[in-house]
A and B are shown apart, each in its own frame.
Chain A
């Protein structure tokens, strides 16, 4: 087992004919992801890497059972694409696009709430469940096994790149991952870390979770609440990057859009303290993760 994506997923790519989307389609198919359809208005009837392209999602849904969509369209078109996805009963929507206007993002998130749909992203590099040989998004690139091997650690990362690096550290420690999720680097996202903990809690395969965090937002504080409320009982190993930002004037963005410290809220040191108090294993250096994993899993 794994969470969110697996062998049973049926994947459609909205914006499949784009340069990056068609490249990633090939990488996903090579890995084993069941990509069964693509949508680009005006390109119906074409094929991308053998995958049939439809003009509308409705037309694609007539032919295929689809439950997962990857959105690979430019920022201005994402709201429309999400609207189309929820209207066609897609259950999981991965938004890869970054730099979407905030007013569009809050509408997207409201749509997801209204329709009971899960959104991962925006600005996510993807989700991968190695034992199921299923990945959605560019995650893992052309050498997926370099970082992602099957195992018992769930990985949640606020950084796309660090989703790979963190999973690689897990491998270096002698383990593998059940599912790794890049949740997106923005403050307004569909699935913050605390929303994933219950899924990992229920997943038999997952024995511990590794969280890569950054300054800003209240995500880590909410994760700590979940631990204290007993909603997640497996070991949680956490690392918070960006302590240097505490020496910088407030209100400046470093790294991702969400990594902004406003009036001393969002300090990494405060997050680390809060997580440790709630019972998480907090790594002061990223390299410590290897030893922590070995200690926790024995």
Chain B
């Protein structure tokens, strides 16, 4: 799931002929003031970051004069919200609001189909809205094989009480939004609020759009707007994460090698696959270890992916041990894992005799793997021990190498 910045999502809305407010991007207060003067006051000043609840965080302001724009822009540009520094602003025409509607389309995991959520009470959080006024929220599941029939777009708004020209306009917008959802492989598209202006025009004042990363191969236009892998971090990707994502894309269809950096920690964590990594992370922490990262490797990756991930894990500042463990593999070749890891140790100039390493790798070609690890002086375990026993061993080794280990450290 990759979230687009607001100006990008509005660019796409405009493309589907869904009206949006006039607006442009500014990266300095002076630029913001200039744009505001062109658009005309009052304006909204919005921080451009790919996270929600910007209003509550103070990253959205309104200004009626040039001085106010300068002041708001100055303030918002310096902010960091949910770990994202605000580096650009969207300066938009502030609409004269008569009423606000809510409209979104997402995939409902329970019914396994797209669901349209609409309400005549817009402008507030949908969770809050559903809790406080469930009777004002309409939810409609759509058969993905059939799509959205036109009559349903009218039914939905008519049942909510819209009439006349507004009913027709809102139905047209819903139809276009569904097209947008399907055409751009969206995971969620939300217009909140969908503003009814004093002139009775409907305008999408704010928009959230997240795209399915698995579909980016058929969305070349959108692929340029998003940072892949951003759903695997809660903040902008670090330099190391970006580097490892690029490395992983070398041979996209064979093997996975994912990496998420933690603050602090001293054990390099190189585990797989998806489920075993979760289990091993829990176990390491429970036994008193301090992992420096999360990772996940599997799906029989080529040696180059193993090598690059291992170098990445070891290169993080403060890492002074390596935990290399895996569930018993169905197809991941242990000899290939061993070659990649041994080469990484060599190239990083790390002597396994001076550096705590625990290996628990069993499965396809593990006899050959064992020989490669042992020839390089790395202690090897296969299915002689369980995953949790391996995690316990890792922490024990850290304590042996670093007698002060339990006193803790920041690095």
Contact = CB atoms under 8 A, between A and B. Distances in A.
B49 to A, nearest CB: 14
A243 interface: yes
B327 A162 contact: yes
A26 interface: no
B234 A251 contact: yes
Interface residues on A, range: 35 or more
A294 interface: no
Contact of B329 (A164, A214, A251, A252): A164
B275 A157 contact: yes
Given A139-B330, A164-B329, A287 B389 contact: yes
Nearest to B365: A142
B109 A101 contact: no
A147 interface: yes
Interface stretch (B110-118, B341-349, B351-359): B110-118
Interface stretch (A4-12, A45-53, A59-67, A256-264): A256-264
Given A101-B215, A103-B144, A244-B285, A161 B330 contact: yes
Contacts of B260: 252, 254
A141 B364 contact: yes
Given A107-B145, A110-B145, A111-B145, A241 B278 contact: yes
Interface in B292-307: 294, 296, 298
A106 B107 contact: yes
Contact of A161 (B144, B218, B274): B274
Contacts of A141: 329-331, 363-364
B387 interface: yes
Contact of A110 (B144, B281, B327): B144
A245 interface: yes
A169 interface: yes
Contact of B328 (A74, A147, A245): A147
A251 B145 CA distance: 29
Nearest to A99: B214
A197 interface: no
Nearest to B110: A218
A102 B215 contact: yes
Contact of B330 (A158, A160, A244): A160
Contacts of A169: 386
Contact of B386 (A106, A114, A287): A287
Contact of B275 (A76, A100, A139, A212): A212
Contacts of A172: 386
Interface in B101-152: 107, 109-110, 112-114, 127, 143-145
A218 B296 CA distance: 23
A286 B283 contact: yes
B277 A255 contact: yes
A241 B281 CA distance: 9
A217 interface: yes
B221 to A, nearest CB: 16
Given A111-B145, A165-B327, A101 B276 contact: no
B272 interface: yes
Contacts of A102: 107, 185, 187, 212, 214-215
A109 B141 CA distance: 14
A276 interface: no
Contacts of A161: 272-276, 298, 326-330
A159 B82 CA distance: 31
A101 B218 contact: yes
B231 A106 contact: no
Contacts of B328: 146-147, 161, 164-165, 168
Most buried by B among A161, A252, A260: A161
12 contacts: A99-B214, A114-B145, A158-B275, A159-B273, A161-B326, A161-B329, A162-B275, A168-B328, A214-B278, A244-B278, A244-B282, A285-B283
Interface of A: 20, 24, 74-76, 99-103, 106-107, 109-111, 114, 125-126, 138-143, 146-147, 157-162, 164-165, 168-169, 172, 185, 187-188, 212, 214-215, 217-218, 239, 241-245, 248-256, 259-260, 263, 285-287
